[in-house]
Structure 1
């Protein structure tokens, strides 16, 4: 084993920033499987693994980051607060200030490749996107503050690409990540079903959306890292990574609900009606804000996410890094549902 460790090329040493998170953990497992030696930098230790070296600290502290980047040639930056959080300060701190610090620390440590986890939502403004390419402009009116800071973050990382200094950057834009151990989509969906909030679908149920299995997102990141080098078409560019199987939004949710023995939504609310109701609600919240704090879950933005088309083309990733999904949507849904059997409703 010591012999193998000595023979392992230095280029196989990488750091996953945010490696304790949902995507990060899956990424670490896959990298180890592929023979990489892995450091994790995070604010907390999210799992036990004696093959991984953990470095705990704040992303905004270069002093804390530097030890995690020693002798490392490749960094994956997938640290992020939960998109559903509404802590604007935290989004700005992690996504903007933290990312600047990561770039500085990488350059100082002689890291050659930086792969950022961005989001396909950086081009979404609440209206239909069908087979959207990476040439779409950044959203002028981002759907929320999380996305606003993801746009700033992506620009920062892509513009840091500097072939003359042997520093190469690329950004992966997944959409609708789901899978086993996901803390967001499935648990929130089941909570909504339990409290009777999943009886209505917004719109006619025909709007297609990308949901992407976590293993395909990981695969896209690793393909990008392995194809990122001087003069490669990845340098300073962003790439959509999806399952490449857009599915009606409500069909996908229904599959997860029925898979866990919950009823699928029965009634339809016209999209325009839901949107105006949500607008009205946000106006009421605004008027009441001096007196009481209400956090509506029914917002115009959520209505737009549930009722519009938003799916993206992976053609550029297929062409430039040989990407193709490794797990089909059917298989992905089955594996996800199985992994949440503890949330299954007894019939």
Structure 2
């Protein structure tokens, strides 16, 4: 009998999901997910890819920045559980990628969103019956401003985080991973991207171009040989979805963090130069000693701190930015390859080209 019965279909689904280890055939009820922070740079790219894969998506964010068929938007404060719960109705999978951008010195904001907001997310997920929570963490949770070469996930959390963003991301990741409970059917995993870039990025490329236009991108900090991970946004999205679709009680990924990068460490200043030259600006040429620049940045930061009650000014170069620009910091993706079958889907070269092409309005003379 060549007719596929309902019972046959159920058996086929079960076999495919648990034994075949290919992309999962998920029942339509499990294709409902929520993206917290879905109006942001990474969040929107994630939403678009989820739609391509047949998911219906609920977005929760403080603002709505776009409209897409198949997406329901919910606006509200992350610390308001009653505002968040409607976005999680009938949802089995949640991606939590909401966070203030790095670089701010607003400690209260980082603590409110990354720590208190994440506590609310976990409570709301459990209350709403959500089964899976995928957190966007950061590789910076192990970075203290000194060299990291091919860093693995078993590196200890930074004892001296480089900024409030990192400090609160450490606490956020701990909260999410400790909430993983197989017995209660609530599974969690943390994705640690590094140096995300791509089309619609509101941070790296616009800030780089603004700095170049003001004539402040002439100098290389250090000898220029330090290797860094930059990760194209589609690869970060790919890592999130792989983690979500493999997050099951029998999976080794439950309650663990995973580095997701382009797996192509590149010289920091080569990357910056390629983006700048692609947009028509001159690459930095002159070298400044790392120790000198870091010392000056530290002095200016302390001065700004002391004078804050009297006058407000923000130094261009902070110790954190100098450390990021002048040290090695790249990470191993071996655990993600082994446990999730991760492999970058867009090369670094292609990612840079697509990013540069997406900013015609930032080109020299535009």
TM-score with structure 2 setting the length: 0.91
Indicate the residue corresponding to 1:306 in structure 2: 325
Q: 2:115 aligns with which of 96, 112, 135?
A: 96
Q: 1:55 aligns with which of 74, 80, 89?
A: 74
Q: 1:255 aligns with which of 271, 274, 298?
A: 274
Q: Say which one has the larger Rg.
A: 2
Q: Map 1:210-289 onto structure 2 (within 5 A).
A: 210-289=229-308
Indicate the residue corresponding to 1:123 in structure 2: 142
Distance in structure 1 (CA, Å) of the matches to 2:344 and 2:174 = 26
Indicate the residue corresponding to 2:6 in structure 1: none
Q: CA deviation at 1:286?
A: 3.5
Indicate the residue corresponding to 1:111 in structure 2: 130
1:55 aligned counterpart, secondary structure? strand
Deviations 1:206-237 (A, max 9, x none): 00000000000000000000110102111110
Q: CA deviation at 1:8?
A: 5.7
1:137 aligned counterpart, secondary structure? coil
Matched, 1:71 2:90: yes
Indicate the residue corresponding to 1:172 in structure 2: 191
Deviations 1:293-328 (A, max 9, x none): 221121111111100000000000000000000000
Indicate the residue corresponding to 2:52 in structure 1: 33
**Distance change in 2, residues 1:284/1:60 (3 Å):** closer
Q: CA deviation at 1:346?
A: 2.9
Indicate the residue corresponding to 1:295 in structure 2: 314
Distance in structure 1 (CA, Å) of the matches to 2:251 and 2:263 = 23
Q: What is the alpha-carbon root mean square deviation over aligned residues? A: 1.2
Of stretches 212-221 and 81-90 in structure 1, the one that deviates more from structure 2 is 81-90
1:275 aligned counterpart, secondary structure? helix
Q: CA deviation at 1:337?
A: 0.1
Distance in structure 2 (CA, Å) of the matches to 1:290 and 1:177 = 35
Distance in structure 1 (CA, Å) of the matches to 2:355 and 2:306 = 41
Distance in structure 2 (CA, Å) of the matches to 1:284 and 1:24 = 37
Q: CA deviation at 1:84?
A: 2.3
Matched, 1:42 2:95: no
Q: 1:329 aligns with which of 328, 333, 348?
A: 348
Distance in structure 2 (CA, Å) of the matches to 1:287 and 1:57 = 36
1:326 aligned counterpart, secondary structure? coil
Q: 1:187 aligns with which of 206, 210, 215?
A: 206
Of stretches 57-66 and 327-336 in structure 1, the one that deviates more from structure 2 is 57-66
Of stretches 51-60 and 147-156 in structure 1, the one that deviates more from structure 2 is 51-60
Q: 1:206 aligns with which of 211, 220, 225?
A: 225
Deviations 1:232-287 (A, max 9, x none): 11111000000000000000000000000000001000111111121222233334
Matched, 1:20 2:39: yes
Q: 2:175 aligns with which of 156, 159, 166?
A: 156
Q: CA deviation at 1:120?
A: 0.2
Distance in structure 2 (CA, Å) of the matches to 1:312 and 1:199 = 28
Distance in structure 2 (CA, Å) of the matches to 1:104 and 1:300 = 36
Distance in structure 2 (CA, Å) of the matches to 1:101 and 1:210 = 32
Matched, 1:10 2:29: yes
Distance in structure 1 (CA, Å) of the matches to 2:283 and 2:180 = 46
TM-score with structure 1 setting the length: 0.96
Unaligned runs of 5+ in 2: 1-25
